[in-house]
Homo-oligomer: A and B are copies of this chain.
Amino acid sequence: MARVVAIVGGGVIGGGWAARFLLHGFDVRVFDPDPEAGRRLGEVLDNARRSLPGLADVPMPPEGRLSFHGSLAEAVADAEWVQESVPERLELKRETYRAIQATCPPEAVIGSSTSGFRPSQLQQGAARPGQIVVTHPFNPVYLLPLVELVTTPANDAALVARAKQILQGLGMFPLHLRREIDAHLADRFLEAVWREALWLVRDGIATTEEIDEAIRMGFGIRWAQMGLFETYRVAGGEAGMRHFMAQFGPCLKSPWTRLTDVPEFTDELVDMIAGQSDAQSGGYSIRELERIRDDNLVGMMRALKRTGWGAGAVLRAQDARLRAGTALAQRSDAAAALPQPILTLARAVPLDWTDYNGHMNEARYLDSFCAATDRFMELIGADAEYIAGGHSYFTAETHIRHLNEARAGDRVEVRTQMLFGRGKKLHLFHRMMRGGDLIATGEHFLLHVDLKTRRPCAPSPEVEANMARIASAQAGLPWPDGAGSSIRAPG
């Protein structure tokens, strides 16, 4: 049976939650009295569909069903999670909980997207205070991993554990705060920077654009991978954190910020900032800026995935979670016993794989075939542990034929036929399909090598036996069209 969540308030934040749940297979029921809610949520969902699925290097679950409901009671009736993202007015939020709790299951998690209120403030006067937690996400909600989970002693430990697990299932990083505090954690830093920035603009020290450059050309890039303390630890060098502190501690006495005070929020200041922001970014529509932002975030998060660091570690953990239970997680003996090409890759084409021709770049086909080869190696026992033990396969030769185009977001699969596998030689034929269309083939000749000498050598008996089992299972398959062929000189 489908898992159901309710989204109460479908703006930019509620819509982001809806998209994240939907794309992870949940049925999503939306309640938002705004007549524009459907259109706005559709736009967020479009952005999410083009950017999120390609973050995974494994198949995503089928998308859930989205429905809009005129009554709050109907939307929340069967929900295991209710996400509240109504405007930041305490009384409105409390009223909303009263209405939600009148019909939602008592074991459902009610998460609030509030950035301003503490959970104890939200729980006050509720029928079941223990059901309400703060789950504060960051825009774009469908891409960024961080969600601040803030609870009170009124929350049951089991409910909190379930909330964490569901958030992790969405590929998020729930940061469970030790205790509640105004504005939670991250927004305190944002607020500090915002206040200082307002002073600098007001006093004519810098424009909004100059401030943005000061951030994204320097510490912004650092903070995408290590935070404040780890960055300073590295900067402190061999002398260590204590030395760094000794050096920079005295600066606290310097008049380096205006943060002993806050600027007055006059019309002039608003005009100044809005005008500078227009000059800086007005050449792009918000829709264009959103897509540029998502292209950038996907590219950077996938770069971190390669190193397995920060948000990239979260993406890797999510792949492992998504992969469990799919054909890609089948045990090697089961997968290898089938008399047909083996599924070795299933994924969406990510945003950062397309090129100036508007389609998946040719090199990304080899990325895909390379991942398919990795999975095949795993199936024959040449997995990460085997490689750490000092042996691996090196590709000696590759022949790719492009038969059709693929675009960002397309779901593609690779199935692999072993043409030969004995001793140090391995000859594979990958077919990449999109639905029923063959879009490319990759023929690969690999050699088993000793990673110390970098020379070919025989594989382990286990690898040899696994190749023999596949050879026998696939013995009846016809020789693939195009295998063994060369590029015909057209002259």
Task: Assign chain A's interface to a size class.
Answer: 35 or more
Residues of B within 8 A of A90 (CB): none
- Residue contact A304 to B296, C-beta cutoff 8 Å: yes
Question: A228 an interface residue at 8 Å Cβ cutoff?
Answer: yes
> Could you show 15 A-B contacts with beta carbons less than 8 Å apart?
A173-B217, A194-B228, A213-B227, A216-B223, A217-B311, A223-B224, A224-B224, A226-B293, A229-B276, A241-B274, A295-B307, A303-B303, A357-B451, A420-B490, A427-B490
A381 to B313, CA, bound (A): 44
- Residue contact B217 to A205, C-beta cutoff 8 Å: no
Task: For A490, give the chain B residue with the smallest CB separation.
Answer: B425
Residues of B within 8 A of A185 (CB): 200, 205-206, 210-211, 214
Partner of A208, one of B139, B229, B256, B307: B229
Which DSSP category, helix, strand, loop or mixed, fits chain A's interface?
helix
Residues of B within 8 A of A210 (CB): 175, 177-178, 185
- Residue contact B487 to A399, C-beta cutoff 8 Å: yes
Partner of A259, one of B12, B223, B259: B259
A406 to B341, CA, bound (A): 32
- One digit per residue, 1 when the CB lies within 8 angstroms of any chain B CB and 0 when it does not, for chain A 396-431 equals 111111100100000000000001101001010000
Question: With A229-B197, A238-B286, A397-B402 as given contacts, are A186 and B352 in contact (CB-CB < 8 Å)?
Answer: no
- Residue contact A229 to B217, C-beta cutoff 8 Å: no
- Which of A278, A487, A489: most chain B Cβ within 10 A? A487
Task: Identify which of residues 200-252 in chain A touch chain B, using a CB-to-CB cut-off of 8 Å.
Answer: 200, 204-206, 208-231, 233-238, 240-242, 245-246, 248-252
A453 to B370, CA, bound (A): 31
Question: A478 an interface residue at 8 Å Cβ cutoff?
Answer: no
- One digit per residue, 1 when the CB lies within 8 angstroms of any chain B CB and 0 when it does not, for chain A 62-74 equals 0000000000000
A358 to B449, CA, bound (A): 13
Question: A329 an interface residue at 8 Å Cβ cutoff?
Answer: no
A262 to B425, CA, bound (A): 67
Residues of B within 8 A of A260 (CB): 259-261
- Residue contact B395 to A358, C-beta cutoff 8 Å: no
User: Whole-angstrom distance from the CB of A249 to the nearest CB of chain B?
Assistant: 5
Interface-located stretch among A27-35, A51-59, A143-151:
A143-151
- Residue contact A228 to B212, C-beta cutoff 8 Å: yes
- One digit per residue, 1 when the CB lies within 8 angstroms of any chain B CB and 0 when it does not, for chain A 368-399 equals 00100000000000001001000010111111
- Residue contact B213 to A228, C-beta cutoff 8 Å: no
- Residue contact A487 to B489, C-beta cutoff 8 Å: no
- Residue contact A397 to B487, C-beta cutoff 8 Å: yes
Q: Beyond A116-B254, A252-B265, A303-B352, list 12 extra A-B contacts (CB 8 Å).
A: A183-B257, A185-B206, A185-B210, A189-B214, A192-B193, A216-B225, A230-B277, A230-B289, A240-B274, A357-B392, A357-B394, A427-B490
- Residue contact A214 to B148, C-beta cutoff 8 Å: yes
- One digit per residue, 1 when the CB lies within 8 angstroms of any chain B CB and 0 when it does not, for chain A 309-342 equals 1110010000000000000000000000000000
Question: A461 an interface residue at 8 Å Cβ cutoff?
Answer: no
